[in-house]
A and B are shown apart, each in its own frame.
Chain A
Amino acid sequence: MLVSIVFIPIGVVSLFASRDVVEIIDQYETECVPQNFRNDKVSFIQSNANKTCTRRLTVTKLMKKPIYVYYQLDNFYQNHRRYVKSRSDSQLKDNSGWDEVSSCKPEDMSNGQPIVPCGLIAWSLFNDTYNFSLNNQQLAVNKKGISWKSDRDRKFGRNVFPRNFQNGTLIGGKSLDPTVPLSKQEDLIVWMRTAALPTFRKLYGKIEWDLQPNEVIHVTLENNYNTYSFSGKKKLVLSTTSWLGGKNDFLGIAYLTVGGLCFFLALSFTVVYLVKPRRLGDPSYLSWNRNPGGH
Chain B
Amino acid sequence: MASDFAMGQFQFLKRLLLVHGHWNYQRVGYLVLYNFYRNAVFVLMLFCVFYSVIYTSVPTIVVGVLDKDLSHKTLLKYPKLYGAGHRHEAYNLQLFWITMIDTLWQSLVLFYIPLFTYKESSIDIWSMGSLWTITVVILVNIHLAMDIRRWVFITHAAVWGSIMITYACMVVLDSIPIFPNYWTIYHLAKSPTYWLTISLIIIMALLPRFLLKVIHQIFWPSDIQIAREAEILRKVTPNLRS
Please give, as numbers and ranges, the residues of chain B lying within 8 Å of A262 by CB-CB distance. 203, 207
Please give, as numbers and ranges, the residues of chain B lying within 8 Å of A165 by CB-CB distance. none
- Given A196-B118, A285-B226, decide whether A244 and B127 contact each other with a Cβ distance below 8 A: no
Q: Given the complex of chains A and B, what is the CA–CA distance between A126 and B227 in angstroms? A: 67
Among B94-102, B161-169, B186-194, the stretch that binds chain A is: B186-194
| A47-82 to B contact mask, C-beta < 8 Å, 1/0 | 000000000000000000000001010000011000
Assess whether B233 is in contact with A281, with CB atoms less than 8 Å apart: yes
Assess whether B191 is in contact with A281, with CB atoms less than 8 Å apart: no
| A170-203 to B contact mask, C-beta < 8 Å, 1/0 | 0000000000000000000000011111011111
Please give, as numbers and ranges, the residues of chain B lying within 8 Å of A254 by CB-CB distance. 113, 116, 200, 204
Q: Which residue of B lies closest to A278 (CB)?
A: B218
In the complex, which range does the number of interface residues on chain B fall in?
35 or more
Among B61-69, B137-145, B148-156, B176-184, the stretch that binds chain A is: B176-184
Measured CB to CB, the closest approach of chain B to A187, in angstroms, equals: 14
Assess whether A281 is in contact with B200, with CB atoms less than 8 Å apart: no
Q: Which residue of A lies closest to B230 (CB)?
A: A281
Q: Which residue of A lies closest to B180 (CB)?
A: A89
Please give, as numbers and ranges, the residues of chain B lying within 8 Å of A3 by CB-CB distance. 203
Task: Specify which of A203, A280, A284 lies most central, judged by the most chain B CB atoms within 10 Å of its CB.
Answer: A280
- Given A155-B177, A196-B127, A251-B193, decide whether A148 and B187 contact each other with a Cβ distance below 8 A: yes
Q: Which residue of B lies closest to A281 (CB)?
A: B230
Q: Given the complex of chains A and B, what is the CA–CA distance between A282 and B191 in angstroms? A: 49
Q: Given the complex of chains A and B, what is the CA–CA distance between A166 and B180 in angstroms? A: 24
Q: Given the complex of chains A and B, what is the CA–CA distance between A286 and B219 in angstroms? A: 13
Measured CB to CB, the closest approach of chain A to B241, in angstroms, equals: 7
Assess whether B115 is in contact with A7, with CB atoms less than 8 Å apart: no
Please give, as numbers and ranges, the residues of chain A lying within 8 Å of B219 by CB-CB distance. 278
Assess whether B207 is in contact with A258, with CB atoms less than 8 Å apart: yes
Assess whether B226 is in contact with A286, with CB atoms less than 8 Å apart: yes
Q: Given the complex of chains A and B, what is the CA–CA distance between A10 and B193 in angstroms? A: 11
Please give, as numbers and ranges, the residues of chain A lying within 8 Å of B240 by CB-CB distance. 283, 286
| A214-249 to B contact mask, C-beta < 8 Å, 1/0 | 000000000000000000000000000001111010
5 A-B residue pairs with Cβ-Cβ distance under 8 Å, sorted by A, are A197-B119, A200-B120, A251-B196, A251-B197, A286-B240
B interface list, Cβ under 8 A from A: 80, 83, 86-87, 113, 115-125, 127-129, 177-178, 180, 182-183, 186-187, 191-193, 196-197, 200, 203-204, 207, 211, 214, 218-219, 221, 223, 226-227, 229-234, 238-242
